[in-house]
Amino acid sequence: MTSAPLLIELLTEELPPKALRALGESFAAAIAHGLRVRGLAGADAGVTSFATPRRLAVLVGAVVGQAEDRVIELRGPSLKVALNDAGEPTQALLKWSEKQGVAIADLKRGNDGRQECFVATRVAPGALLRQCIDELLTEALAGLPIPKLMQYQLADGQTTVSFVRPAHGLVVLHGSELVPANVLGIKAGRSTRGHRFQSPGPLVIDYATSYETMLREQGRVIAGFEARRERIRDELLAAASRLGATLGDEAPVTALLDEVTALVEWPAVYVGNFDQEFLAVPQECLILTMRTNQKYFPLFDAEGKLLASFLIVSNLELDDPALVIDGNERVVRPRLADARFFYDQDRRKPLAARVAALAGVVYHAKLGTQAERCERVGKIALGIATALGVDPAPVVRAALLAKTDLLTGMVGEFPELQGIMGAYYARHDGEPEAVANAIEEHYRPRFAGDALAGTDAGLVLAMADKLETLAGLFSIGQLPSGDRDPFALRRHALGVIRMLIERELALELDELLAGAFAAFPAAAPSAREELTGFFYDRLNGYLRERGFSAQEIGAVIDSRPAVLAEVLPRLDAVRSFLQLPEAESLAAANKRTANILRKSADGAAAPLNPALLAEPAEIALAQCVATLAPRVDEHLRMMDYAGALALMADARDDVDRFFEQVMVMAPQAEIRANRLALLRRVSELMNRVADISRLSNS
């Protein structure tokens, strides 16, 4: 069949910016999938997605007007049912054949997977693009990740339609041919619209592949999301460079860039300024105001200090943008003035004077107020500080003040600044620097990949805060379920895991959880057990993300090691061990040992009696274990886990000979129990770093 490119465009009112990218990608993928399953496009057909604030579109490179005919095989009754003893057709076969419209003589014999049967073959005509386009479009639109549906009436004033935003136009072109389609009450045509203000009028598309170029050259629209994003980024970087400035940290810039790309169709970047006096306000406040409220890109000097300039991404490219710049500067000025007002007002009342008011702020209906929470966090933090040998004074003071900035005007306006503003206000109040740092750092890590607290007091308070949240919510049964995790408990647990591992803290998880649950004496014992399992589940995911295999992870954490700081060194040791030529043999032997010990209760507690060792192979193995044990102990004392595991290679020959020459389950009970005791010592020696049996591929 002759193929041609297929263009589909749906014109709408302004789409939700934070969802635009996903909507565009999903629309293109759904259209391409629908064409492929109908045989109208191959897997290698190029697919180009377009998405602007007012359109979703896709161009599929090679689409046929009609798919090839398909041969369909219909399996009928088995030979036992279809033929009588004389080999003649039964009524069952005659009726089935008639129903399929196929003569008996044209039936073939086949197999339905269980037995031989009759098969009817029919040719189904290939799908026609013109006939299935409405169904294809309906399927694609129904599968879009729409945040919230809108209902609106069509022009007839009677028909109600549901979609993410009201749709006003539809283009479906197969090459140069208009494909008659109708979706959301709109009939397809050739006409599209360019820029809302800078386009000359309706644009008539004569061929599918001319769409993107026509919109760019005549409609002043960059239809591709990625192309538009790249242009904005290039212009932002160029403008910042001309000013000798930077855009700041990449993560917030990337998020804002995605959002701004979804707000404009023909981007232009302009420079705005604000009064220098606003720089007296903490720069985090100004940055958040500009990025969140105004979608501006703040500018920074080489040291990361905020400048009194920002970049505007406008949807209008003008020879003289003075009015656009002036308008944006006038809009941002009162926003910055509000931030300054909040900052000035908040500093009039010290954080310490706000502590009592926390008793009137409900933390959770079942867990009390923020004042009660701060008291619990302080007790947990004191225990951690004592265990780590950290000065408890700044920790306890910071725990008392940490949540007081929730009562300030600035944090009330910008909740994202909690902790950050608390640190500023603490310094203003004359609190020690260690206290101010701990207040700011106790929320860290705030998100995946965020930095951990940089000070001892901050680290202790951050851990205590997260443990209090976890223990408290688990104690009242508020566990995450599926994708639902409204209290971010997974993130809190991962934060604690990162602190323990990445800061190499020699703290036992069980003791930490015991200290946390001590603040909730009414909690059921099962809550602590559930939280323990929750931690090891999160640990598994953390290690997978670091590139360790399920086999390696299971060997180390299935036994639930108490000190998580030892997990990474043990995993590295496991990887080194797996490179040894003796590794597979030892792992298989250890697996066999574990199976034997698991199945037999004989010798479960019996000590090894050297006098009962008679066979040369068991004597040699016992001597090998006795020789290796102190050497392994020495390596473990130095936390040289790789060295300890490497010593296991010396035992391979003795272990192999033992299993080849010695019958463990001897008929004499005393001999059998002694050999099991020997195997138990072998197993204990080999598994002190990791469960080697988990590393066996047999």
Which of 24-33, 51-60, 335-344, 551-560 is least confident? 551-560
Residues 383, 400 contacting (CB under 8 angstroms):
no
Amino acid at 687: N
Q: CA-to-CA distance for 208 and 138, rounded, in angstroms? A: 21
Q: Final residue of a domain: which of 196, 217, 238?
A: 217
| Same domain flag for 8 and 133 | yes
Tokens encoding 696: 């066996």
| Same domain flag for 381 and 529 | yes
How many structural domains comprise the chain? 5
* Mean pLDDT value across residues 495-506: 96
Q: How many residues does the chain have?
A: 698
Whether pLDDT at 603 is above 50: no
Read off the pLDDT band of 114 (50, 70, 90).
Answer: confident
| Same domain flag for 438 and 510 | yes
* Mean pLDDT value across residues 44-64: 96
Between helix 17-37 and helix 129-142 the angle, nearest 10°, is 140
98 found inside a domain = yes
265 found inside a domain = yes
| Same domain flag for 309 and 448 | no
* Mean pLDDT value across residues 523-527: 93
Residues 419, 401 contacting (CB under 8 angstroms):
no
**How many CB atoms within 10 Å of residue 353?**
12
| Same domain flag for 204 and 298 | no
User: What is the pLDDT at residue 607?
Assistant: 84
Q: CA-to-CA distance for 173 and 190, rounded, in angstroms? A: 7
| Same domain flag for 361 and 400 | yes
Task: Indicate the DSSP class of residue 606.
Answer: P
* Mean pLDDT value across residues 558-587: 89
* Mean pLDDT value across residues 100-119: 86
| Same domain flag for 254 and 362 | no
* Mean pLDDT value across residues 98-116: 85
The pTM of the full predicted model, rounded to 2 decimals, is 0.80
| Same domain flag for 391 and 513 | yes
Read off the pLDDT band of 698 (50, 70, 90).
Answer: low
pLDDT tens sequence across 1-44: 589 999 999 999 999 999 999 999 999 999 999 999 999 999 99
Read off the pLDDT band of 648 (50, 70, 90).
Answer: confident
Q: Final residue of a domain: which of 318, 346, 374?
A: 346
* Mean pLDDT value across residues 405-425: 96
559 found inside a domain = no
| Same domain flag for 652 and 685 | yes
| Same domain flag for 635 and 690 | yes
Cis peptide, bond prior to residue 445, ω within 30 of zero: yes
User: What is the pLDDT at residue 604?
Assistant: 55
Percentage of the chain modeled with pLDDT above 90: 72
3-state secondary structure 119-164: EEEEEECCCEHHHHHHHHHHHHHHCCCCCCCEEEECCCCCCEEEEC
Whether pLDDT at 215 is above 70: yes
Q: Final residue of a domain: which of 162, 190, 217?
A: 217
552 found inside a domain = no
Q: Among candidates 17, 35, 124, which has minimal Cα distance to 74?
A: 124
Q: What are phi and psi for residue 108, nearest 5 degrees?
A: -115, 165
* Mean pLDDT value across residues 401-408: 97
Residues 153, 136 contacting (CB under 8 angstroms):
no
80 found inside a domain = yes
465 found inside a domain = yes
Where residue 595 sits, what CATH number does that domain have? 1.10.730
Amino acid at 675: R
| Same domain flag for 293 and 432 | no
β pairing state of 203-204 and 268-273: unpaired
User: What is the pLDDT at residue 605?
Assistant: 65
DSSP run (H or E) holding 70: strand 70-78
567 found inside a domain = no
| Same domain flag for 364 and 513 | yes
Structural domain boundaries enclosing 118: 70-124
User: What is the pLDDT at residue 68?
Assistant: 86
568 found inside a domain = no
User: What is the pLDDT at residue 129?
Assistant: 94
CA distances from 295 to 17, 125, 250, 649, 660 (A): 12, 54, 15, 62, 74
User: What is the pLDDT at residue 595?
Assistant: 83
Which of 128-142, 370-384, 578-592 is least confident? 578-592
pLDDT tens sequence across 658-690: 988 989 888 888 888 888 888 888 888 888 888
Read off the pLDDT band of 319 (50, 70, 90).
Answer: very high
Q: In b/e form, how buried is each residue of 606-630, taking b as 16+ CB within 10 angstroms?
A: eebeeeebebebbbbbbebbeebee
pLDDT tens sequence across 162-195: 999 999 999 999 999 999 999 999 999 999 999 9
Where residue 451 sits, what CATH number does that domain have? 1.10.3210
* Mean pLDDT value across residues 376-404: 97
Question: What is the C-alpha end-to-end distance of the chain, expressed in Å?
Answer: 53
Task: Indicate the DSSP class of residue 613.
Answer: -
User: Mean pLDDT, the chain, as a whole number?
Assistant: 93
